[in-house]
Structure 1
């Protein structure tokens, strides 16, 4: 196999995407996850301290974003791990949405 053939196979596998760009996006996604989760924990802690309850909206946004991300990863990669993480996030999204709606309707304080 010649150098050109190896490069052509690599281009086809990576769909002409720069591997450095893909790695940067991957690392950025991981950092965004950590920062987003940390901010949600801080906001939820402040909500408990000052308001005696947690505002479900921040968890709706966080879990909604990441359930969409892991669903996309599952569709693209077909890995069971991505599906399991998606299911966990979508369940938390549903729970936080139900809590948010219950608070809006006055069912809970």
Structure 2
């Protein structure tokens, strides 16, 4: 009778990697929590300009808001948020950087169109 070899035990994660992972998760959550107020402030800033006010009141010479591009940014942002929460430390860092970049792009897109 042959014996099956015991599966190799996975090494326990170090406390530094656990701390880094929790830091990434908390920063990602904070960024996601602050994203809707940032969009609101950006829209209010855009509407407070002369061009934004005219566009809001008169609807004259206003470029339409690129809903498709904004939706794609939001979809990519949600994916990067989920990856930042669930992935290991190295991938979590990349996902957090992607999340922050996508949030900045979305806010800039809102600022660009009244």
Fold-level match, TM-score > 0.5?
no
Which structure is larger by alpha-carbon Rg, 1 or 2?
2
TM-score normalised according to structure 1 size: 0.39
Which one has more relative contact order, counting CA pairs under 8 Å at least 6 apart? 2
